[in-house]
Every structure is written in structure tokens, then in C-alpha cells.
């Protein structure tokens, strides 16, 4: 079983919809949580970063962490066709800075 | 600030050869991490260098190695290439290992 589980999708939504992306993890040592966006044939781009349980908002993006349930989410409001990409969750174990463990990525398509 | 740069962007090699990939981090960043991305396995951590020392290592065979120079630039080397080494190789830099910024990657094809 993978340390980080993420539904690969694909997920297709109409423009303007609220998108919910989720990851679960098994290792209690994970303490930093990130979401990356990757366009085709590009490197991942950091979207959100958090280390505590709760919500963190940045524009149309909200990251949510529930350490007790080992569950993280990314919400995208008012989704746009330009949001079409693969979204990857990533986590860092305690005291192993520099080592990211990634989920498989969810492929998102936002239709005009 | 300039982003993370990787060279070359594309490589074609044959089985048994070796390859060296280069990564220049964001100015001021001291940590460089390397990842392999394949359709089947996703993004997997190879190793991380911090101030010229390997600080963390993933579960890859010894054919995969790396180093970091005093200016924080990093190289990774793969010896005795196998078909399964075909992948996108990504490097990421950060100040101390936490918030990582990725380069565009080097796409390696092994024939």
C-alpha cells in the first residue's frame, strides 16, 4: 500500500464549478503538506503549502488538512479551463526535509 | 529571480550507457532534491543534497548517484542505463528542504 493515496481521476467539471481534490496518508510522521499543479510536459508548480490542521486560503484555492483523519484536500472555486492540469499532493516526513512523498496525481479537466 | 534550470531538456541514450543531468537551483537555495517521474510509478524521490552533502536518499539502486557543488548546483548520474530508466527527471530547490520549487525536467529515453 502506498504511503499517500490519491484518486487519479480523470475528473471533468464545467467551468465555474467547485472542485474538490483529496489525498489520504498512512504515515503519522508527515508534517508538511503541499499541493502542486503540473501542466502537460512541464515541471510541478507549487500551489499551496501548510503544516497544521485547518484551512489555508489563497485566492480561489483552499487547502485543508485533517491530521487526526490523515486526510488533506484542495478546493478550487470558480474553476477555469486554465485550471485543467494534473494536481499532485505531496508530504514531507518529520525531520526529513527535502524528501517529498507524492500522491499519484489527479487529472482535472475544466470544460468551457 | 530566475527559476530552477535543468540541462539538457531531452536525452536519448542506449542501454548500458551512462548519463549525467544538471540542475541549477534558485539563487540562495541550498537544498536540491531529485525525482523520477514515470506514468506507472508517478513521482518518486531519488535523493537530496544540502550544502554539498547527501542528506536523504530514496529507494533506488546504486546506479543512481548525485553530487552538489559549492555553488549549490547539482548533478545526478545514472550508470548502466536500463530501459526502465526512461522517465522525466525533475530537480527541485529550496532554502532548507521545505518548500520545493521544481525545474522543467529532463526527459530521458533509453533505447
Whether A43 has its CB under 8 Å from any CB of chain B: the answer is: yes
pLDDT at B16 over 90: yes
pLDDT bracket for residue A52 (50, 70, 90): confident
A95: pLDDT confidence band, cut at 50, 70 and 90?
confident
The reply to whether residue A98 touches residue B103, judged by beta carbons under 8 angstroms, is no
Structure confidence at residue A96 (pLDDT): 83
- Mean pLDDT across chain A: 94
3-state secondary structure of A75: strand
Identify the pLDDT of residue B92: 97
**Planar angle of CA A30, A31, A36, nearest 5 degrees:** 85
State the pLDDT at residue B64.
Answer: 98
pLDDT tens-digit profile of B40-51?
999 999 999 999
Mean pLDDT score, A84-108: 93
Write the DSSP string, A21-66.
Answer: EEEEE--TTEEEEEEEEE-TTS--EEEEEE-SSEEEEETTEEEEEE
A40-54, B74-88, B93-107 — most confident range: B74-88
Q: Which residues of A touch B92 (CB under 8 A)?
A: 100
Lowest-pLDDT choice from A91-100, B34-43, B49-58: A91-100
Beta bridge partners of B61: none
Q: Which residues of B touch A97 (CB under 8 A)?
A: 31, 55-56, 94, 96-98
Residue B38 banded pLDDT, cuts 50, 70, 90:
very high
Between the two ends of chain B, the Cα-to-Cα distance in Å is: 37
Q: What is the mean pLDDT of residues B91-105?
A: 91
Cβ proximity of A111 and A14 under 8 Å = yes
Percent of chain B with pLDDT over 90: 93
| In the predicted structure, residue B1 carries a pLDDT above the cut 70 | no
What pLDDT does A2 receive? Answer: 85
Section A37-54 average pLDDT: 93
Amino acid at each position: 500500500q502506498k504511503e499517500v493515496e490519491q484518486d487519479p481521476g480523470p475528473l471533468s467539471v464545467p467551468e465555474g464549478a467547485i472542485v474538490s481534490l483529496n489525498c489520504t496518508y498512512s504515515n503519522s510522521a508527515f508534517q508538511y503538506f503541499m499541493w502542486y499543479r503540473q501542466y502537460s510536459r512541464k515541471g510541478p508548480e507549487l500551489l499551496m503549502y501548510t503544516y497544521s490542521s485547518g484551512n489555508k486560503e489563497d485566492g480561489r484555492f483552499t487547502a485543508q488538512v485533517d491530521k487526526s483523519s490523515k486526510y488533506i484536500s484542495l478546493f478550487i472555486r470558480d474553476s477555469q479551463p486554465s485550471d485543467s492540469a494534473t494536481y499532485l499532493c505531496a508530504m514531507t516526513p518529520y525531520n526529513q526535509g527535502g524528501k517529498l512523498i507524492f500522491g499519484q496525481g489527479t487529472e482535472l479537466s475544466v470544460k468551457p | 529571480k530566475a527559476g530552477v534550470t535543468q540541462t539538457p531538456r531531452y536525452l536519448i541514450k542506449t542501454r548500458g550507457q551512462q548519463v549525467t543531468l544538471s540542475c541549477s537551483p534558485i539563487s540562495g537555495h541550498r537544498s536540491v532534491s531529485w525525482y523520477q517521474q514515470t506514468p506507472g510509478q508517478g513521482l518518486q524521490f531519488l535523493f537530496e543534497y544540502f550544502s554539498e552533502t547527501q542528506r536523504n536518499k530514496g529507494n533506488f539502486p546504486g546506479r543512481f548517484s548525485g553530487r552538489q557543488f559549492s555553488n549549490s548546483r547539482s548533478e545526478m548520474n545514472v550508470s548502466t542505463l536500463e530501459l526502465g530508466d526512461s522517465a522525466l527527471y525533475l530537480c527541485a530547490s529550496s532554502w532548507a528542504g521545505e518548500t520545493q520549487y521544481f525545474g522543467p525536467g529532463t526527459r530521458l529515453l533509453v533505447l
